[in-house]
Amino acid sequence: MVSLLLHFNWTWVGLVISDDDQGLQFLSDLREKMQGSEVCLAFVNEIPLNMELYNTRAETYYIQIVTSLANVVMIYGEMNSTVEVSFRRWAYLGIQRVWVTTSQWDVVTKHTSRDISFDSFHGTFIFSNHHQEIPNFKKNIQTMNTSKYPIDLSLLKSEWMHFNCSNIESKCRTQNKSSPNTSLEWYAGQGFDMAMNDETYNLYNAVYALAYAHHNFFFQHVDIQATKPQHLVDCPKLYSSLKTLQFLNPVGDLVTVNEKSKFDAEYDILHIWNFPQGLGIKVKIGQFSPHLPLGQQLYLFDETREWATGSRQIPSSVCSENCRPGSRKFRQEGKAACCFDCSPCPENEISNKTDMDQCVKCPINQYANKQQTHCLQKTVTFLSYEDPLGMALACLALCFSALTALVLGVFVKHQDTPIVKANNRTNSYILLISLMFCFLCSLLFIGYPNTAKCILQQVTFAVLFTVAVSTVLAKTITVVLAFKVTAPGRKMRELLVSGAPNFIIPICTLIQLVLCGIWLGTSPPFVDTDAHSEHGHIIIVCNKGSVTAFYCVLGYLGSLAVGSFTVAFLARNLPDTFNEAKFLTFSMLVFCSVWLTFLPVYHSTKGKAMVMVEVFSILVSSAGVLGCIFFHKCYIIILRPSRNSLQRTKKTTYGSSN
């Protein structure tokens, strides 16, 4: 029975048993076989043997079957019992269920108002003890004259065959075989059961058992003087002989009379179908043999089943619908194992079968498709020059570096003009060269990363920006000293004349080199893979190594920028035509704003976006310094050369002092 349920995927079934020792034993055995098979009992109706007690509960049993979601009901009970009465009552009331039983009850519906449709699978499955065909039994049935009986079952079957002749097998598609005069011999050839049923076969074996017992009893007393007439039999001794009796009946089946002995029996699986006008047909659709390997014990004839039922569409009998691939079972607490919910698999996990208890996580180099049924290979990616953003950033870096080189060329060409001399030519050249390399160093962040490139991009960025910012600081201090300590009698005059502010650049750069050396010596940058930032991609990035060292380098650079901004801000109102303190102030304001914005944005991004943010910050901060400090000077040198003269400078200075 359990094999049949699993074959049709009927996991939510009802059970009706007799309320006696046999019924309870059947329930216990059934539950034992159901363990681990994911078949659950929707309800268990224990039918009392007492008819009066049954009548008081009959409506309850009926409601329980009708309201249950189980479309399959197993029934275990003896013939001529209250269980059979219940079965007949439910069939009469037209309950359409798939019944699975061990008893061959005649449950053909006797009225036409509730006939079951031809294309339905509902009916009765019977497990009958398999036995060989009784000699001459079928021939006797085939040659029987049915006209002697009040109800001509042969005629009823023939009429139904003639009515539905177009829907059955090819053997029935000829008019002569579908005629009302067809004999029972034709039905025997179509697979209809013409053999003995279990009850008749048991009676057949009982007659032979009694004959064997009598034979053995009299054979044992053949040489003994009888003390009483031969026709009298000692019943206790005869019963004792029956209990130990085993024999082969005429068809070759082993018969054991002792009810306590158990052996693995083979079963035929029969299907009874109710047709109009109360016609019932029983067809063998398969068999069960416990001697075969597990999984092959149940065998069903698919073609015969289709012929018997008129359809391959099988009704469902489950508590919960199957969980499709891409989801998993979610057990409902306090409910049977067959009742569950389906929940989608978590991110990057899959299930490629139905009713999976757990989803399977995809490997690190793979990702789940949208349906979460298969793992797909991830694509290796990085910020490349072929990438639109990578190409745009590379073009910006080249354009800004070319612009910086152009500005440097303008300053070199006009190095003897007052505006270039007044702003410390040497520091201006150093600042422009460092800015040009700052733009170019952003190219190290674009392209396929390797260990050398990862180290160079961080060290180059830190050192070049330190040179640029320390140069701005040196220029700012030079401006302050030029106006505050150049008056006669000041002791710091010699400090300015000696060019002491220019030592700021190598000292600050040396400190940054020491910090970078510590960084490289402890935990240098390395090539890393990021498999989680972008769906379906493995991003190759440069890991900073020691995050603490990275922020120390960045913090030192920020402290230089803040110092330069503070000094420049204090010197912004000093009088002079070419005083660049205001421009230095704005340049450091832009620089600090960019890198203060960089920190939270950098932390909130992953993968290629982190690289883009860092490259963009390098370009914007460098462009801010270049524009704030040198745009005004280039404007005067190229477009307003009249303002770049010593006479104009003296006139402006004289007017300002007055």
Which of 402, 403, 385, 386 has the alpha carbon at shortest distance from 394? 385
User: Residues 221-242: what's their mean pLDDT?
Assistant: 62
Q: Which domains, and CATH codes, for the chain?
A: 1-130+265-319 (3.40.50.2300), 135-194 (no CATH), 204-260 (no CATH), 327-377 (no CATH), 388-657 (1.20.1070.10)
Average pLDDT of span 77-92: 84
In which band, very low, low, confident or very high, does the pLDDT at 278 lie, cut at 50, 70 and 90?
low
The pLDDT of residue 298 is above 80: yes
**Cβ contact 301:271 at 8 Å:** no
Predicted confidence at residue 440, as pLDDT, reads 93
The pLDDT, as a whole number, for residue 397 is 94
Q: Is the pLDDT of residue 196 over 70?
A: no
Mean pLDDT, residues 479-483 = 68
CA distance 374 to 378: 12
0.75 surpassed by pTM: no
**Quick one: what percent of the chain has pLDDT higher than 70?**
73
Residue percentage of the chain with pLDDT more than 90: 16
pLDDT tens digits along 578-636: 457 778 888 888 888 888 888 888 888 887 888 899 899 999 999 999 988 888 888 88
274, 289 contact by CB (below 8 A) = no
Q: Which residues are paired to 537 by β-bridges?
A: 379
Q: What is the SS3 assignment for 218? A: helix
Residue 262 or 443, more confident:
443
Is the CB of residue 53 less than 8 Å from the CB of residue 46?
no
**Using one digit for the tens of pLDDT, what is the confidence trace for 497-535?**
555 667 888 999 999 999 999 999 998 999 888 877 777
Q: Which position has the higher pLDDT, 147 or 85? A: 85
- The region of weakest confidence among 129-143, 249-263, 603-617 is 129-143
- Poorest-confidence range of 13-22, 169-178, 187-196, 242-251? 169-178
Please say whether the beta carbons of 471 and 434 come within 8 A.
Answer: yes
Over residues 138-185, the pLDDT tens digits come to 666 666 655 555 444 444 444 444 444 334 344 444 434 444 444 444
Residue 399 reports pLDDT greater than 90: yes
Q: What is the rounded CA–CA span in Å between residue 116 and residue 98?
A: 12
Mean pLDDT of 546-575: 83
Any idea what DSSP says for residue 536?
T
Q: Give the pairing of strands 246-248 and 298-300.
A: unpaired
Listed in sequence order, the residues at least 6 apart from 245 whose beta carbon sits closer than 8 Å to its beta carbon are 209, 212, 213, 216, 255, 256, 257, 258
The arithmetic mean of pLDDT across residues 483-507, rounded, is 63
Say which residue, 161 or 474, is predicted with more confidence.
474
Residue 213 has pLDDT above 90, yes or no: no
Please give the mean pLDDT across all residues of the chain.
77
Specify the pLDDT at position 644. Answer: 67
Q: Calculate mean pLDDT across residues 328-334.
A: 80
Q: What is the mean pLDDT of residues 202-228?
A: 72
Q: Rounded mean pLDDT of 229-242?
A: 68
Does residue 156 or residue 345 have the better pLDDT?
345
Please write the tens of the pLDDT for every residue from 405-434.
999 999 898 888 887 877 778 888 999 999
